[in-house]
Every structure is written in C-alpha cells, then in structure tokens.
Amino acid sequence: MKVKSLALLGSTGSIGQTTVDIIKKTKQFKVLVLVANSNYLKIMNQITTLNPKVVIIHDLDTFHKIKKIHNFKKTIILNDIKNLNKFVSKVDICISAIPGIAGLAPTLDFIKISKKILLANKESIICGWNLIKKTATKYKTHLIPIDSEHFSISELTKNYLNRDIEKIYITASGGPFLKLKKSKFKNIKPVDAIKHPKWKMGKKISVDSATLMNKVLELTEAIRLFPFDSNKYEILIHPQSLVHAIVKLKNGTTFFLYHLPDMKIPISNALFDSKFDYFKYFKNKNLDNFSCLNLEFFAVDKEKFSTIELISEMKKSDSAPIAINAINEIFVDEFLKNNIGFNDILAYLKLVLKDKDYIKSLNMPCSSIKNIYKIDTWARNLAYKIIKKNKIK
C-alpha cells in the first residue's frame, strides 16, 4: 500500500493522540505537518517519534522554548501557517481536531491543500459550515466527519435519500450524572464532571457531555453535515455507548451502527476508507459480542437535562449557534476554574437567551470568517457580563 501524507491539526489533544497511535501501529502514513498549541512534552515526543516536516506551534512561549533549546535538522518549526506553503504544497489527508472556534481558520487553510479532510471539530462545523463547504467545493476536497455519531450517520445513510428516512437518532451516554438526582447537581465539582463513564476525552467536552450540551452541538452539526430535514433528528439516552446512531426508514426497517466506545474505530475507518483491520492492530479485551442483547435506549429526561431546549434556539438563525457555542465555552471554562457552579452553566445560558443584546444578535451577518469571529468575541463578552451581573446579585 502506498504511504500517504498526513497533516494533523490539534496533535496533542485526545483525537490527535489517538491518530498518532494509529499512525505508529500501521506505519502507512508520513506525517508532513503537526499543528499544536502549548503541550511542550507531547510536542517534543511527537517531533522525535514522527519526524514531521513542519510543526506549527501557536503558543508563543512554547514556540520560542522549542525553537531555542532544540535544533531539529529535519523539522521546521513555525509559529503560524503563513509560511507553510514554502515547505508543504499538498497533503493527502488532514485531520482537523483543534478544539473550539480556534479550529475554524486552520481548517479552511488546510482544505486548500488537502485531498481529504477528516473533521473532528464540531465548533468549526457549527459556526462556519457554509465557509467550509464552499471552500471544499472550490478546491475539490472530500469532507469526512469522524465524531462517532456522525461517522455512524454517514455509514447508515449513504444509500438513502431524505424521502426514505423517517427518523435519525443520535445517542448519548448520559454522562457521569445520568443516575444522579437533579437536587444533587448543585454539589457537582469539576473533578466529578470530567469523569466520563465510557469515553476518554478532554475536560471541556467531558463537561458538555455531563450537561448534554455536547448532544445539542452534535445534533446541530448533523443538520449542517447531512441533507436531511432538521426535524428528523432526535437524541436518545444509551448508557452503554455501543450504538452511536440509529436510522429508522419509512419502509418500517431500522438500522444502527454498533462499535466499541473507541475513537480509533471511526478515525481508522476514515483514514483507510472503511477497509481497516481494527483487530489486527488493536486487541480489545473488553469486546463482548453478546453485550448487544442488553442494550438500553430511553428518552432524555428534559427536566433533568433541560439543555436540550437549546436545540430549537440553535435553529433560529445562522448566528445563534455561533453565539451559544461561544457563551457555553466561557461558562464551562469558568466552571472548570471553580468560579461558577455546575447548575450555573445552564442557568446562565437561559439568562443569555432572554438578553436584549442576544436577541438582536440573531440577525448579525456571518457570511465571512471575520463576521463569525466578531459574533464569537461579542458573545464571549456577553457571557462574562452575565457572570459578573449575577455574582453581584
């Protein structure tokens, strides 16, 4: 098999490290570009083991530290993407996994030089899908979602049209507090919220899973990615995290995609066009072929996880998801810093929706990356105002 060139954006995050694991095991990819932020030790390890042609380090202190202390003969160290085209003009595959809105600009830049983009940054899709799609069409770049839910929807619906589909269910584990009484939520600490029962994820996405905001974002992402009516999507609680999407057809049949809660599965299948021998490279002792007999599915408790009320809000305009995503990021960050409580995340989000400035923002233009960042910055400032105002009270 021909070795393919690869760019990895967000190389030190959970998706990035999982991808690195696949690359090391299969030895069928040559890493041309790594993009990272500030994790010095992980960046150094990846440079040493992967020998990339170019490493882009966004954090200035980390960039200077690595540039000053280490003299890499085979690796070029840059602080931004501006001069990348001097060293790399084309890559076969790019994995976009920089978290948050920060991933949008790099994704758009790499679409221009990549044959295929594997998307693992829901915020970029939610906030800038029109730009991503337009750029991908212009440069004939193939877009593939690799979040487990969207990978599953893609696999299950590829032979069907909108008219064939009755319902599409996106599953949610329910997070660490599925069985915790709502009255106990006020006592939740960050250390509790980041302990996801099934997945190994970053802190921010783990908190989003605990509030169910992650599913609100994923449903919005699905509406962007797939050509199906938005009212066909629904969230189901599935504690085992083995079924990631369910598609009910109008002909009376229903399909679901079942796989272990392991991101190596959707990532590797996307890398190898669904022709990957997972069990050859990753022996998983937890596989139980009969566990599917005990699968559970049930509706979301809307009183306990009222975050899903935001789904309708996200559909109001193209700017609404940009603002809500940004505001949620601030509230989650403040919770992780112990500056606000777990219940405050949702309570403050609901206050935002009643804010006169937010209501006015629903008509803000978002046809360019400049406008998207403008809405994002404005929304973050509004989030801090809401926190300050309610702390004074």
**Tell me, what's the pLDDT at 288?**
54
222: pLDDT strictly greater than 70: yes
In this prediction, residues 122-149 reach a mean pLDDT of 94
Phi, psi of 248 (to 5 degrees): -100, 125
205: pLDDT strictly greater than 70: yes
Residue 121 DSSP code: -
Reported as a single tens digit per residue, the pLDDT across 44-95 is 999 999 999 999 999 999 999 998 887 777 899 999 998 899 999 999 999 9
Contact 387, 339 (CB under 8 A): yes
Element (H or E) spanning 145, and its range? strand 142-145
Which strands sit side by side in the sheet containing 76-78, from one edge to the other?
76-78, 54-57, 29-36, 4-9, 91-96, 114-119, 142-145
**Tell me, what's the pLDDT at 334?**
95
In this prediction, residues 361-367 reach a mean pLDDT of 84
Query: What structural domains and CATH numbers belong to the chain?
Result: 4-145 (3.40.50.720), 147-262+296-315 (no CATH), 316-393 (1.10.1740.10)
- Token pair in block for residue 124: 């970029």
Reported as a single tens digit per residue, the pLDDT across 306-342 is 999 999 999 988 899 999 999 999 999 999 999 999 9
Q: How far is CA 315 from CA 217, 227, 322, 348, in A?
A: 11, 15, 11, 20
Percent of the chain with pLDDT over 70: 97
65-104 CB burial, b ≥16 within 10 A, e <16: bbeeeeeeeebbbbeebeebeeebeebbbbbbbbbbbbbb
Contacts of 123 (CB under 8 A, 6+ apart): 99, 100, 101, 103, 104, 217, 325
Reported as a single tens digit per residue, the pLDDT across 152-203 is 999 999 999 999 999 999 999 988 889 899 999 999 999 998 888 777 777 8
290: pLDDT strictly greater than 80: no
Greater pLDDT, 40 or 357? 40
**Tell me, what's the pLDDT at 268?**
93
Greater pLDDT, 164 or 99? 164
Among the residue ranges 1-5, 111-115, 304-308, the one predicted with the least confidence is 1-5
**Tell me, what's the pLDDT at 278?**
82
Kindly report the average pLDDT of the chain as a whole number: 91
Contact 360, 371 (CB under 8 A): no
**Tell me, what's the pLDDT at 60?**
95
Phi, psi of 338 (to 5 degrees): 65, 25
**Tell me, what's the pLDDT at 360?**
79
Contact 35, 106 (CB under 8 A): yes
Q: What does the alpha-carbon distance between residue 205 and residue 203 come to, in Å, rounded to a whole number?
A: 6
**Tell me, what's the pLDDT at 44?**
94
- Token pair in block for residue 145: 């979602």
Q: What is the pTM of this model?
A: 0.89
With vertex at residue 240, the alpha carbon angle to CA 234 and CA 245, rounded to the nearest 5 degrees, is 35
Percent of the chain with pLDDT over 90: 71
Query: pLDDT category, 293, cuts 50, 70, 90?
Result: low
Helices vs. strands in the chain: H and E counts, helices first: 16, 12
Among the residue ranges 86-95, 121-130, 175-184, 286-295, the one predicted with the least confidence is 286-295
Q: What does the alpha-carbon distance between residue 9 and residue 4 come to, in Å, rounded to a whole number?
A: 16
List the alpha helices (DSSP H) in the chain: 14-26, 40-50, 60-69, 104-111, 122-139, 148-157, 190-193, 203-211, 213-225, 264-271, 278-281, 310-314, 319-336, 342-354, 356-361, 369-392
Reported as a single tens digit per residue, the pLDDT across 224-273 is 999 999 999 999 999 988 899 999 999 999 999 988 888 999 999 999 98
**Tell me, what's the pLDDT at 257?**
92
Reported as a single tens digit per residue, the pLDDT across 376-386 is 999 999 999 99
In this prediction, residues 208-214 reach a mean pLDDT of 92
**Tell me, what's the pLDDT at 321?**
93
SS3 assignment, position 186: helix
Phi, psi of 3 (to 5 degrees): -70, 130
Strand partners, 57: 36
Identify residue 244 by its one-letter amino acid code. H
